[in-house]
Amino acid sequence: MKQLLILSGKGGTGKTTIAGAFIKLTDAKAYADCDVDAPNLHLITRWNAEPAKTDYYGLPKAEINPELCTQCDQCRQNCWFDAISIDEKYKVDPFACEGCGVCEYVCPVEAIAMIPAVAGKLMLYSDGEKVFSTAQLKMGSGTSGMLVTEVKRQMKSAAVDTGLAIIDGSPGIGCPVIASLSGVDMVLIVAEPSISGISDMERIINTAEKFGTKIAVCINKYDTNIENTKRIEEFCIKKGLPFIGSIPFDSNAVKAINNGQTIVDIDCTSGTAVKEVYHKTMNLLFEKGCG
Amino acid sequence: MKIAIPVDEKTLESNVCVSFGRTPYFLIYDVETKESIFIDNSAAASMGGAGIKAAQTIVDNKANALLTPRLGENAANVLKLAEIKIYKTTTALVKDNIAAFIAAKLPLLDEIHAGFHGHGGN
Amino acid sequence: MPDFMDTGAINMRIAVLSGKGGTGKTLVSVNLAAVSRESIYLDCDVEEPNGHLFFKPEGIQEEEISVKIPKVDNELCNGCRKCVDFCKFNALAYIKNKMIVFDEVCHSCGGCILVCPQKAVTEKEKVIGKVQKGASEQVAIYTGILNTGEASGIPIIKKLLSEENAQASKQIIIDCPPGSACIVMESIKDADYCILVAEPTLFGVHNLNMVYDLVKLFNKPFGVVLNKCLEEENPAEKFCLENSIKILGRIPFDNELGTLNSNAEIAVNKDEKYRELFSSLLNTVTKEVQHETTTNP
């Protein structure tokens, strides 16, 4: 099963809009939303049934038992995450705690225990033919990279025999993006022709290159700034990256999305353009003789 | 000589597990004495760094070679430092891969994937 | 022509966040900073910082940000493996009588240093990014940049926020990362007020909901700026009305503004109408903050 990941660097360039279109065009039997912090793909992929939900346990969090605590301050002094404070009682900030166990180790009276903590929810939609794996990270949680990996793992183990999986990624270049990059066969970068968009695109390409996966670039809303669109095309030529198409800004796209549809469900300019990008992506992804 | 293989079940009839770091068990097979030992992989339940921990298990059990379908960067580094050779399994069944290894028909594993870098894996 | 009225509110720390990326956090934070009498702009979107592209700051000073990771003295190490066993992140391995550290997996907790009975494990620094300080007219710009490949930008944000504390009497605008994960929490920790930027799309509202929960959890006073407003029904506006959320202002969907923004131009410096729009917004926010401090001192 080949995995296609859609990334952008910058938020709001259209990853999910394009992922939704690809899923529709390829009648994908396996897809996933790895933007576990702010998942949106489920809003445009119509599923009638409720998903199977699983609690996702992140790192355990330290808890101080005030009955046993002697207020010796060892825990607070040794916490490298500044997660322990004192306000009459010694308390652990669950958002800052990284579950390292140092406080548990240094406490002379065993007043600290590491308690399993739910950091999110995994969701799996399946109907025997196709599967959609997604998750929602609990607000303020860390370990988003781990949850992303779980989303992919869930998709892979539930997937019926299929040749292609589409993965909607998250913005940025940190933990969740690195986790989503592992093991994918190709990354499609959706760029936006703005100075910010170009800067962010360069950083995400930099990150993706470290994984040695195939990378291709397309531009969304290209006609909002033709000059910057040209810049991106030139950048791709210089870097030897395949530039596989441009999609125009289309107010009908917003209408479709707000109706819970993909841009290929209605007749619109962005829908027509994304079909071209889709075909070129598939050709690249499935071409033979490439390492 | 001892070889290690990630396995789905604690039997020689088992399939090779598709994951190294998260495999439930390892088989440690002595090629000369034909003795089999199955050990639990404590790394399977890890939050992150499972490959590293699983590789440590292989090192601690004094295996000379590992047979696996795939391997991440961090785990590969541990094994290379320990001078444990890494071979690529070519079929599903454990015993077929052992036989292939003994017949010197198993290839070395060249493709080390980038790994999950502490973010878990499958 | 209205200008930003100096109401005497000093050291107002305003965080701008959105949940969804691309809604206009940087548009709003850059222009609010530019329209203030004197201000500090903190770019906490350390994975993809963009504010500096608009300000083009000068006199840049850089400071590297590092985290502490372990270093092992193999002469002192006796192979007891207490460190390996302790590490919850599996960042250590013991091979051929040598300890090795996996830098990328290490979470910098210091545990291995503590548990080693031979004192063979000590700290060393690993650079994960940097903070750049510069200025553009009356705005001081602090940009946090995370090196590609590094997992967490939290130490950089911590540094950014501690820097600004050194400066008293200035307006501080914090440009936050998208989402609502731990990195966003870190950015709003010390904020006096949060501006949530919303776009009129289904995705936008869904993510607005998340940061709405976040600011409530942190008990931060907040209001919403509706960006890219069109004639049609605005789902974000509907959300605000349904939840009795203060709407601070509306920025219309405007091709000219879009073009200025995509060319990294600061709108308030290019056209009076944008200066008025953002001055008015800043006035509204200032009043909200003052109201908060008088009702919730």
The neighbouring-strand residues paired with C250 are: C226
SS3 A221: coil
Note whether C105 and B52 are within 8 A (CB). Answer: yes
Neighbour count for residue C90 (Cβ, 10 Å): 26
| Among C20, C53, C259, beta carbon nearest to A196 | C53
Best mutation target among B22, B112, B122 (most A Cβ atoms within 10 Å) is B122
**Neighbors of chain C by Cβ distance (3+ pairs < 8 Å):** A, B
Nearest to A101 by CA among C139, C114, C33: C114
What is the Cα–Cα distance from C149 to C139, expressed in whole angstroms?
31
Topology of domain C13-38+170-295, CATH? Rossmann fold (3.40.50)
Q: Where are the alpha helices (DSSP H) in C11-133?
A: 25-35, 51-55, 82-86, 111-115
What domains can you pick out in chain A, each with its CATH number? 2-56+129-286 (3.40.50.300), 59-116 (3.30.70.20)
Q: What is the pLDDT of residue A290?
A: 47
Average pLDDT of the residues in C268-283 = 95
Are B81 and C96 an interchain contact pair (Cβ–Cβ within 8 Å)? yes
Q: What is the least distance, in Å, from the CA of A180 to any CA of chain B?
A: 9
Q: What is the pLDDT along chain A (291 residues), one digit of tens a residue?
A: 899 999 998 888 999 999 999 999 999 999 999 999 889 999 999 898 899 999 998 889 999 999 999 999 999 999 999 999 999 999 999 888 989 999 999 999 999 999 999 999 999 999 989 999 999 988 877 778 889 988 998 998 898 889 999 999 988 888 788 888 877 899 999 999 999 999 999 999 988 887 778 999 999 999 999 999 999 999 999 999 999 999 999 999 988 998 899 999 999 999 999 999 999 999 999 986 544
Which residues of C are less than 8 Å from B47 in CB distance? Answer: 88-89
Give ∠ CA A136-A142-A147 in degrees, rounded to 5: 45
Domain ranges of chain C: 13-38+170-295, 68-127
* Chain C residues 129-158 within an 8 A CB cutoff of chain B: 151
Note whether C197 and C28 are within 8 A (CB). Answer: yes
What mean pLDDT value characterizes chain B? 89
First to last CA, chain C: 33
Q: What is the pLDDT of residue C281?
A: 96
Domain C68-127, CATH 3.30.70.20 — does that match?
yes
What is the Cα–Cα distance from A121 to C179, expressed in whole angstroms?
16
Q: Counting Cβ atoms within 10 Å, is residue A121 exposed (0-12), middle (13-18) or buried (19+)? A: middle
Nearest to A20 by CA among A1, A9, A35, A37: A35
What is the Cα–Cα distance from A223 to C169, expressed in whole angstroms?
43
Q: What is the CA radius of gyration of chain B?
A: 13
What is the Cα–Cα distance from C227 to C281, expressed in whole angstroms?
12
pLDDT range class, residue C150, cuts 50, 70, 90: confident
CB contact, 8 Å: C273 with chain B? no
**Pairing mode, strands B65-68 and B85-88:** parallel
Closest alpha carbon within chain C to A13? C22
What is the Cα–Cα distance from C284 to C271, expressed in whole angstroms?
20
Average pLDDT of the residues in C17-34 = 93
Neighbour count for residue C97 (Cβ, 10 Å): 9
Best mutation target among C69, C81, C90, C103 (most B Cβ atoms within 10 Å) is C90
Nearest to A28 by CA among A290, A278, A283: A278
Using one digit for the tens of pLDDT, what is the confidence trace for C33-89?
Answer: 999 988 999 999 999 999 999 999 999 999 999 999 999 999 999 999 999 999 999
Q: What is the pLDDT of residue C296?
A: 65
What is the Cα–Cα distance from C210 to B107, expressed in whole angstroms?
51
Q: What is the pLDDT of residue C20?
A: 84
3-state helix, strand, coil in chain B (%, to 5): 25, 25, 50
Q: What is the pLDDT of residue C1?
A: 28
Closest alpha carbon within chain B to A185? B113
Phi, psi of A284 (to 5 degrees): -65, -45
Neighbour count for residue B108 (Cβ, 10 Å): 9
The neighbouring-strand residues paired with C126 are: C67
Q: What is the least distance, in Å, from the CA of A161 to any CA of chain C?
A: 31
**Neighbors of chain A by Cβ distance (3+ pairs < 8 Å):** B, C
Q: Counting Cβ atoms within 10 Å, is residue A282 exposed (0-12), middle (13-18) or buried (19+)? A: middle
Closest alpha carbon within chain A to B114? A211
**Pairing mode, strands A118-126 and A112-115:** unpaired
| Among A40, A141, A200, beta carbon nearest to C48 | A200
* Chain C residues 25-84 within an 8 A CB cutoff of chain B: 84
Average pLDDT of the residues in C199-214 = 90
Note whether C127 and B113 are within 8 A (CB). Answer: no
What is the Cα–Cα distance from A259 to A264, expressed in whole angstroms?
13
What domains can you pick out in chain B, each with its CATH number? 2-102 (3.30.420.130)
Nearest to A121 by CA among A141, A140, A132, A135: A135
The neighbouring-strand residues paired with A125 are: A132
Q: A272 Cβ partners below 8 Å, 6+ apart?
A: none
Nearest to A232 by CA among A1, A49, A13, A11: A13
Q: Name the helix (H) or strand (E) containing C196.
A: strand C193-198
CB contact, 8 Å: C95 with chain B? yes
Q: What is the predicted ipTM?
A: 0.86
**Pairing mode, strands C58-72 and C121-136:** antiparallel
Note whether C123 and C113 are within 8 A (CB). Answer: yes
Using one digit for the tens of pLDDT, what is the confidence trace for B79-120?
Answer: 999 999 999 998 889 999 999 999 999 999 987 776 666 665
What is the Cα–Cα distance from B112 to B120, expressed in whole angstroms?
16
Best mutation target among B22, B117, B119 (most A Cβ atoms within 10 Å) is B119
Note whether C210 and C180 are within 8 A (CB). Answer: yes
SS3 B31: coil
Nearest to A162 by CA among A284, A278, A28, A32: A28
Q: What is the pLDDT of residue C134?
A: 95
Token digits of residue B51: 């490959």
DSSP states along A5-72: EEE-SSTTSSHHHHHHHHHHHHT-SEEEE---SS--GGGTS---SPPEEEEEE-S-EEEE-TTT----
Phi, psi of A285 (to 5 degrees): -65, -40
> How large a percentage of chain B has pLDDT more than 90?
66
| Range of weakest confidence among B64-68, C3-7, C44-48, C279-283 | C3-7
| Distance from chain centroid for Cα B66 | 5
Nearest to C32 by CA among C160, C161, C174, C135: C174
**Pairing mode, strands B2-7 and B25-30:** antiparallel
Are A12 and C20 an interchain contact pair (Cβ–Cβ within 8 Å)? yes
Note whether C221 and C194 are within 8 A (CB). Answer: yes
